[in-house]
Structure 1
């Protein structure tokens, strides 16, 4: 037993000499308007970088349409994601991870992944979860805001792959949304607003290693060995306008063996998009009664939930939500939302399909959702399906060649 190894000597790790955060700016550093494509390159390849611990720093202002400061407008929770239509990460000239509709995708993923102990840190990233309105307030007199958004809250690649990248060019691309409406909430329904982005910087840690470790890495580099990057990607699908029925069937996609779902998260939103006067950071239960995920002929969950929101009978749905962290991160469950907050902010369905029958281990996998509600789906209701699946990238530091499986 380790407690009996009384002769063990103290160990000190000197393999890392320094960690320096370097700032990288977009090609064009003065145009961050709606529909613009913002590209931030790291062109120097002879580096040891640590993308998992990098973050995006952004400065801006929340203003009225005429450019003056608003007294009533606020930013929705995780407003940073809603400023963009798509974000993607390229390594070695190839896209290794991308997130579409990052506002909704990263909000849902964050709500199942974060815990209450992280709330203060998350405020620095533009998050604010509370029992009143869950809105992010800007500076009262100037409308200014500034946040640091960790890359691991935006990409599955950065969340899962915690090692350094050797000798590869990297580039972060942010495509601005065509409107700022989804990022703003205003109680004054006669006022329109806009967000002005003044500055965007990608802060990337450069790892400086000891001579001994540098020699090991150089020898690895010289061999031309292929290195593997494994992570879980977050893939978003949207059903933009649901029919007014109580039973719905959605054939989401067909997936390869490698990219078959490990987890599926389903959320509904009623008439919240592209409206300054509705909080786009909230989701709706739509009186969901039962929901099933079909992977070919396999069904998750096996039993019916038989939810009844009119009688506050949603404990099974919350249990599915609160068990996510133990299964996904292999750690003790510490859900961010209490049952009451879950009902108000995000009554979402988290389906764990990580343990699968052998019948799913060959051929393509058809992904289909069925759900039943106790009343007709309301007008202007959208459904979101986030599929968390495995992805493997392989690269050769010597040649810079990168391939995805």
Structure 2
């Protein structure tokens, strides 16, 4: 006979309150340099060895102004802030071992958004520049402000949702041009409108968690003992080719693309995870061949995003990161 008691019969239970968090604050960090032109490198460093940050809930603020010459209409594309950068990088610890490097973050985050975001997500992310099927709003005076969750850039913060202590470095490399960020519609065939983007400010908004004293003491004891912190997540790597498209994902929610939109934004998802680990080679060689009833339009570009598991080990006292699986 089972001795387990159903919750409905636990009438003498005590009331429990979650008092594990003493305080939550938002801290602002600024880059070392204030130059945000094309090809510039924007680096923001957080160096707190005894404090704990919910980096997975932190945000990047980008503000600036569009300078237009001509009478054409200018509007942002969906996910415009991500296209402002050619790469984004996250480094944990004092070394050069990167936790995640995302090339073409505009493409990667767009594909991930199509596969994983819902219509409700799009509403919440409107201030981040993701407002599919609509486009971000540009103020009448040409100014703009975006507040983008770091998890929109870095998938590690979607998978690893635990506080982090120690030195963290974020590097955002500006794109060599901003043509992918906006669309210009000329009013007349002879008009020629030029657009320049002037980014005036970049800030990192970090969510800092202050645990109650007993939990904090236990965490700091683990740091002092240099206990290893295992961080599993999935890395998104993009490859660019022509006349074919492929993507691999593990989306659990209903995507925001319907059948009509899918024709213009075609995505193929292939699950390659079910195979013998012993036969897996050290390098990944993927080839996709796609045939179509009609020819692909001129200048068609295709992006293959390979998602693979990463397991990192972080030694908080030594500020060292080891790659256990990648």
| TM > 0.5 | yes
Give the structure 1 partner of residue 261 of structure 2. Answer: 341
Shift in alpha-carbon separation, 1:213–1:386, aligned structure 2, 3 A: same
The 8 Å contact of residues 59 and 204 in structure 2, kept in 1 or not, is answered as yes
Shift in alpha-carbon separation, 1:364–1:88, aligned structure 2, 3 A: closer
Task: Say whether 1:356 aligns with 2:310.
Answer: no
C-alpha displacement of 1:177: 0.7
Q: Higher mean Cα deviation, 334-343 or 355-364? A: 355-364
Q: Which residue, 234, 247, 265 being the options, matches 1:265? A: 247
Q: Higher mean Cα deviation, 219-228 or 143-152? A: 219-228
Q: Which residue, 205, 225, 228 being the options, matches 1:226? A: 228
**Structure 2: segments with no counterpart, 5+ residues:** 1-5
Residues 7-156 of structure 1 aligned to structure 2 (within 5 Å):
7-29=12-34, 31-65=35-69, 72-92=73-93, 93=95, 94-130=97-133, 134-140=134-140, 142-156=141-155
The 8 Å contact of residues 19 and 208 in structure 1, kept in 2 or not, is answered as yes
Q: Deviations over 1:114-153 (max 9, x none)?
A: 11112221111001213xxx3222011x111111100111
Structure 1 residue runs of 4+, over 6 Å off? none
Give the structure 1 partner of residue 194 of structure 2. Answer: 192
Shift in alpha-carbon separation, 1:164–1:78, aligned structure 2, 3 A: same
Residues 354-393 of structure 1 aligned to structure 2 (within 5 Å):
354-357=273-276, 360-361=279-280, 364-393=283-312
C-alpha displacement of 1:210: 0.7
**Structure 1: segments with no counterpart, 5+ residues:** 243-247, 251-263, 267-320, 327-332
C-alpha displacement of 1:365: 4.5
The 8 Å contact of residues 80 and 129 in structure 2, kept in 1 or not, is answered as yes
Give the structure 1 partner of residue 180 of structure 2. Answer: 182
Q: Deviations over 1:202-244 (max 9, x none)?
A: 01111111111011112212322111011001101111x44xx
TM value normalised by structure 1:
0.73
Q: Higher mean Cα deviation, 110-119 or 4-13? A: 4-13
C-alpha displacement of 1:360: 3.9
Q: Report SS of the residue matched to 2:223.
A: helix
By relative contact order (CA 8 Å, sep 6+), the higher-ranking structure is: 2
State the alpha-carbon separation in 2 of the partners of residues 355 and 65 from structure 1. Answer: 54
State the alpha-carbon separation in 2 of the partners of residues 54 and 351 from structure 1. Answer: 31
Q: Higher mean Cα deviation, 368-377 or 118-127? A: 368-377
Give the structure 2 partner of residue 209 of structure 1. Answer: 211
Give the structure 1 partner of residue 251 of structure 2. Answer: 325
State the alpha-carbon separation in 1 of the partners of residues 295 and 208 from structure 2. Answer: 54
The 8 Å contact of residues 72 and 185 in structure 2, kept in 1 or not, is answered as no
Q: Report SS of the residue matched to 1:45.
A: strand
Q: Report SS of the residue matched to 1:124.
A: helix
C-alpha displacement of 1:348: 1.3
Q: Higher mean Cα deviation, 368-377 or 121-130? A: 368-377
State the alpha-carbon separation in 1 of the partners of residues 89 and 156 from structure 2. Answer: 11
The 8 Å contact of residues 60 and 203 in structure 2, kept in 1 or not, is answered as yes
TM value normalised by structure 2:
0.90
